[in-house]
Structure 1
């Protein structure tokens, strides 16, 4: 499985995101740049320039019309996907950690960090109401007083948002699979190192996880000891069946292509890697 190596960032990758069709891959990093790539060959299609701080999150709407980004420069920005033009700028009191479009593409949500005396908020804007954007005033703002949100996704059909907080187990030593409607705990996938990101295959009963040693300790350890591999688990049996090496530091984010035939990973080393699965991967069956 030979990866396509995407070199378009000077600092650590913070998130990667496919569009619905899977032909485009968006990547953001701590270097203020948002890149968009052709996933089939790794060619960079363009950049979205405007942020002045680390970009923590990125999302694309259902029809690949608009792109949403959130940054440590205390802003959430809306872009025209095709032209790269900035369509809206929403100022916040602290860093924007997560963001996303709902199913319709009309509602956006983003969370702000608990810092500088401000508590964490989960904000909702309706893009069909220009006055909300002009006034920089969300129609709903939910305070999170205890622990800040580190990850958030929309539930089915945009009915609710699932948020992970900084004290959650998923950011520590295990990744857990939950039913998105009932929030019942279904499976656990144990590792001996911190898990930074996990993704579920759309066509196989597989989960891929990325993580590794803490960034501050990377320089003192080899890549082998640092546990920088992407690790594959069977979703039903909870057993690990494969690892993929390549990054020279912790893996910060992983994502499956919508067709399930490839996956991508972004690392602390500043690289994004697109991995197309070999034919043997689809014939593999884990012995019970």
Structure 2
């Protein structure tokens, strides 16, 4: 657990933290912010190593390429940009979507990009030259999320009107389409490590598990509030789920059974993360706390209190990163 003492605060962002991710070795952390920038930081010193600026809108996400030599940023200005982390050469840029981009990801082999946008499309791009390969345009409302399957051969997209689609990226064939029974927003979804399960977070307060043929395997319901946040464990067998009213629970994604409930937050839980070993978890909430949990017992182990709402979490083997709504970035030893 954390000592409870903040070891470093990173100053620089002038807007709320949207996302944060550590490099594999934990020596760097990449942040995206509402201040229209993404930034790369050295965790040992708190030094800002690189600033990625040029977007005209909030940067919604920033991710590393598989070799950590490039960064992909996605912005509300409708553009996705590639950056060289060494800062030594220009990188080909993609064309723009016609509206804000909600997320961007690299393919597992690092050769392609996938972006989702409010222009009702998801688009596939070449990393080498920024050229558009394919446009997935069957949705009738803004596309909120797009992700690759673990083998990189398929993509999943979900839109605001409760439709999720599963695509063959080589042919743009829509393999199957799922529609939320109550025509409400479908939230995030994930692939299991084995690539055999898809998880849909539905506006009807359920999380449902599907195989790649579109058949439902199981589901469970939070009767109190909409599901807002989900994250898969390192071993791909369990999932943390958080709802709008602060309910947090650990479930087995093989059968949908709830393993344990984590009780303590008051209000929405903004972010959740597993420790690398998968036996502990950390959550950040509207109640201005970050809470540590023992997943074997469901017990609350420690609470950290903040002056401002913590909105983003990232965790490495030795450090916890917390970004708050004002753009301040906090580091703790764990």
**TM-score normalised per structure 2:** 0.66
Q: Which has the higher contact order (CA 8 A, sep 6+)?
A: 1
1:199 aligns with 2:273: yes
Compare 62-71 and 89-98 and name the one that shifted more: 89-98
Please state how far the C-alpha of 1:154 moved relative to its aligned partner: 5.8
Partner residue in 1 for 2:134: 137
Which residue pairs with 1:11 in the alignment? 15
Flag the structure with higher helix content.
1
1:175, CA displacement in angstroms? 3.4
**CA contact 1:97–1:149 (8 Å) conserved in 2:** no
Question: How many correspondences in the alignment?
Answer: 252
1:231 partnered with 2:268: no
Indicate the SS of the match to 1:254.
strand
User: 1:263 aligns to what?
Assistant: 320
State TM-score, norm by structure 1: 0.75
CA contact (8 A) 2:103 2:116 kept: yes
Distance across 1 between alignment mates of 2:307 and 2:198: 33
CA distance in 1, matches of 2:191, 2:75: 19
Q: Is the 8 A contact 1:16 1:28 kept in 2?
A: yes
User: How far apart, CA to CA, are the structure 2 residues paired with 1:3 and 1:188?
Assistant: 30
Report SS of the residue matched to 1:20. coil
Tell me, yes or no, if structure 1 residue 45 matches structure 2 residue 36. no
Superposed CA RMSD: 3.0
CA separation in 1, counterparts of 2:127 and 2:197?
A: 19
Q: 1:78 aligns with which of 74, 79, 82?
A: 82
Deviation at 1:98, TM superposition (A): 2.6
Change in Cα spacing, 1:240 to 1:111, as seen in structure 2 (3 Å) is farther
Residue from 92, 99, 113 that aligns with 2:97: 92
Please, which moves more after superposition, 62-71 or 151-160?
Answer: 151-160
Relative to 1, partners in 2 of residues 1:52 and 1:127: Cα closer, same or farther, differing over 3 Å?
A: same
After superposition, what is the alpha-carbon deviation per residue over 1:123-145, rounded to whole angstroms, capped at 9, x for unaligned?
Answer: 35253675xx4246347674523
Q: 1:189 Cα deviation (Å)?
A: 2.4
Task: Say which of 26, 30, 33 aligns to 2:30.
Answer: 26
Is the strand fraction higher in 1 or 2?
A: 2
Contact 1:232 1:240 in 2 (8 A): yes
CA contact 2:92–2:128 (8 Å) conserved in 1: no
For 2:251 and 2:99, locate their aligned partners in 1 and report how far apart those are by CA, in whole Å.
Answer: 30
CA distance in 2, matches of 1:63, 1:266: 25
Q: Retained in 2: the 8 A contact 1:124–1:141? A: no
Distance in 2, Cα, partners of 1:76 & 1:148: 24
* Residues 26-65 of structure 1: CA deviation (Å, up to 9, x unaligned): 1111110111000111111011112110111111122201
